[in-house]
Each structure stands twice: as C-alpha cells, then as structure tokens.
Amino acid sequence: MAGLRMLMDGGNAVDAAVAAAAALNVVEPESTGLGGDLFALAWSAKTKRISALNASGRAPASASLDELKKKGMSAIPEDSPYSVTVPGTVSGWEALLTKMGRMGMADVLAPAIEYAKKGYPASELIAGRWVDSLDKLRARPAGKELLHNGRAPKPGEIVRFPELAKSLATVAEGGAEAFYKGALAKKVARTVQEEGGWLTTEDMAAHKANWVEPISTNYRGVECWECPPNDQGLNALMALNLAEGFDIRGMGFQTADTYHHLIECMRLAFADGARYIADPDFAEVPVKELLKEGYAKKRRALIKPDRALDHVLHGQVPGHPDTVYVSAVDGEGNACSLINSIFHSFGSGIIVPGTGIALHNRGALFSLDPKHPNALAPGKRPFHTIIPGMATRDGELWLSYGVMGGMQQAQGHLQVMVNMVDFGLSPQEALDAPRFKTSVDEGTNLETIVDSSVADDLVRRGHWIAVLPPHGGTFGSGQIIERDPETGVLTGASEPRTDGAAVGW
C-alpha cells in the first residue's frame, strides 16, 4: 500500500517500488532494511530498454583472508562482524529515484517513517520469525531496538521502532550522503569495529551503486533478463538454456519427466555458478561463454532421461535464510523489479545502537579459498543470491517478477518461466503450482502437494528426495506482474506460501 500511495500521488513504478521496499524495512525488519543490499531491473516505457542496478556493498579495505585463516576459520561466521560488508540499500534507493523516479527520497520514505513512528500490527508469519530470532537479537544490547518490550511481538500487537524512524528520517532529509558520510556512517563503522570487524567510515564514504548492463537469454521466443554477476541471475539463465533443448511441454505438467529434467538442468547450472560467479571487477566471469548454445548443448548432453547424475561437476568454458521482493508497473508501462535483503533473519544480528539498523551478513558468502573467484578481498563484492527478473516479448515488457529464498531464487525463476511459457499458466497459477528445491549434491525437496507417484519415480531414477509441506522459507516466495502490450492491462499475482499482496489502482 505504501507503493500504491506513490502511484496514486503521481509517482511512477520506481517511486512505488522504493516506497514499498522502505516500508518493508519496518514491517518485515528481519528480511530487509537500511543495513542490507539491493539489486533492481528497471524498464523504461519510453526507451523500451531495461537498466540493471547493482547496489550491493563491498568488503572493507582492510578485509583480510589471511587474518581469518590464522584464526582457524574455514568460512566466515554468519553472525560475525567479518560478515558485514558496506550496506548498499540506501545508495540503490537514491540511484533508482535519481535516474528513473519522479519523487524525492522524502516522499517515498514517508510511509515507512509513519509506520515506524505510529506502529503497525505484526502479522502472524512475521511474528513467528521474530520468535525464531530471539536469541540472535538478545545476544547484543542494541537488539532490544528491534524487539517489542524485550520480546517477540504476538500476532496483532502494535510494533513501533522509534530509533529506526529517526534513521529513516535522516535518510529522507539528507539522502545517501547522510547515510554514507554522516553520523549514521560513523555509528555503523564504530559498531562493527567494536565487534572486532574491519568496516570504517572511509569504506562507507567510498561506496556507490553501479548501473550495469543486464544479461539475458532467449527461452522459446521470450527474452529473460537478469542482473549480471556478482549475483546469481546467471544461474537462472543457464538453467533455461539447458531446459530449452528438451520438449518440456511434451513431457507434461507436473510429471516426473518434467521434474527430473528441470532438476538436472538446475544442478548443472548451480555447479557452473558456484565455480564462476564472482565480482567481475576482481575475477573474469565468462558470462557470454556460459550462455552460448554450444556450451549449453555440451552440458545438456550429460543429462540422462532415466537416471540422475551421481555427481555434478562444473564445466570448462573456453578461455577468454531472508529477502523481500517488490514488483511495480505503472499506467505508462514503466516497471521496476526490485529485491532488497539483509540475508539471514536480522542479518548478522549486529544492530547499530540508537539507529534500529540491522546489519546484513552477505560477507559470509565470500570463499576463504584464495584460489576461488569469490575469495574474500578488500573492496570486493561477494556472490549474491538475490535476483530480480524481467521478461520481454518482441521488444515489449511482458513480466516483472521475482522469487525470494536464497539459492531457491534462480530455480524459482526457472520454474515460473516454464509454467508460463511451456504450460501457458496465468501468473497466479504459475506461483500456486508445486515447486522443487534442489542443490548440486544434497538432494531435492518436493512439496506435499505434488502427486506421490512423482516422488517415487524420481527416487527410482536415483534422486534423493524429501517431501515437505509448502512453505515460502523452503520453496521460495514469488510475485509477478504481467503486462499485455496491446491493451496495457496488468495482471498481478502474489505468493500463496507466505505474506504478500497484489494491489492495483
């Protein structure tokens, strides 16, 4: 509704998306906020072009892989100050509004500030997540700023965040400069350093969001768009390239054949992604080579129709658990697909005293293998799971969509696209349909709403299968807006497995 208010007041899709994302900082604080990162795709109805924004933060200048190895670490702890990179969210909000919005920061943050000051009733789902994060928030004194009278709120209780309201008001008045170069920057840096981390005010001041070229692949006549690395959008595109070589429609909707082939496509894509996706400023990421049909054909040939691959390895190319997602399309056809996250629930668990800001822990995704492309290094951006999506047909916007949920995001994009392109489902049907969650070598989860014969068939083919209840935390949470280019009619759909809504005006 915060986003809808922007549209009703004359704003466009970008204004609406940023306003909704900011409001979610307040009403879903375990998932997103000022202390997180952001990626976005924005479609201009005037130029008929998609712009990609990378507003993820970089590792501090004094980050040291050797230091962590000497401490005996083989991975960066998720609740440690070493997992905190520069928060990129605010730079992303400002970059979007400056380039493609109509409103200022004060306008779009007004609903969020209002909710933080006056309060809102906690939803049942969010209240449950608060309970799960109690130990994390109680581990540090400032955690009480994101609790309700020292505890998790019960469903329906009114929650207020006065400290967060002040931080949002500071950003509303002073923009990104107030966050990265003002008193907030000093508080963020001091908090991380007091925990033993590396982040400094200089690291904060040096940060900026970057407009980058989006990447895409064509799936049966639909151009599917993603942000380029360091995020995992490439995984979704590689999986679609592999799937295009199979007659998925002929295999049938929700059949064992379809599940088997899509699972294997995703496993192969994940293997390549784990090997190659990193910050392109520090490592060569062979995006073009990975998306070539010749490479897809070679990888596709590994898939056997009657047997799961025992071990999935990455290919060789020629040399050369929390998030929120918002989709907005306005009456002129402009669109914004935006994803905003602090990674795990309440991020690192480090709350900046007096600000209500939970610092994310995306740095935990760095590798501590110095030979890996995603190895920790000063000024480097880590591998990111969060990916906004768009799809065009014949040069016109068709879909603005996303599926939240860590590594579920790329496979969520694959499954939504297959549902709509191969099986002709509506946006809501595409989200309602059962989904799988797979990994390279740790088995596959199916939902209990899947026909039991499908699980039995997949087990016979050598898949490791677990059947779990439908839940957004496991199988992802999606939102879709479809646009009819001839009439301009918009069709919205929202995830049935978790909180969410599709609203229009």
Neighbouring residues of 396: CB distance < 8 A, sequence distance ≥ 6: 48, 483, 485
Q: What count of other Cβ atoms lies within 10 Å of the Cβ of residue 127?
A: 18
Q: What count of other Cβ atoms lies within 10 Å of the Cβ of residue 245?
A: 16
At 168, which amino acid appears? Answer: L
Q: How far is CA 228 from CA 315, 325, 399, in A?
A: 19, 18, 18
Residues marked active site are found at 323
d(CA 139, CA 78): 14
The DSSP H or E segment spanning 249 is helix 248-251
CA torsion through residues 63, 66, 68, 74, sign: positive
At 10, which amino acid appears? Answer: G
Using the structure block, give the residue that is written with the tokens 């001041």.
Answer: 205
501: left (phi over 0), alpha (psi -120 to 50) or beta: beta
At 87, which amino acid appears? Answer: P
HEC secondary structure over 18-34: HHHHHHHHHHCCCCCCC
Return the closest-CA partner of residue 327 out of 3, 17, 5: 17
The DSSP H or E segment spanning 239 is helix 233-244
Q: Which pair of tokens denotes residue 250?
A: 């002929």
CA angle 454, 407, 272 (to 5 degrees): 95
Q: What count of other Cβ atoms lies within 10 Å of the Cβ of residue 319?
A: 7
d(CA 352, CA 86): 13
| 253, 407 contact by CB (below 8 A) | no
CB half-sphere exposure, 422, CA atoms < 13 A: 22
Beta partners for residue 44, in sequence order: 49
d(CA 202, CA 135): 32
Over its C-alpha atoms, the chain yields an Rg (Å, rounded) of 22
d(CA 501, CA 1): 9
At 38, which amino acid appears? Answer: L
Return the closest-CA partner of residue 388 out of 236, 501, 174, 504: 236
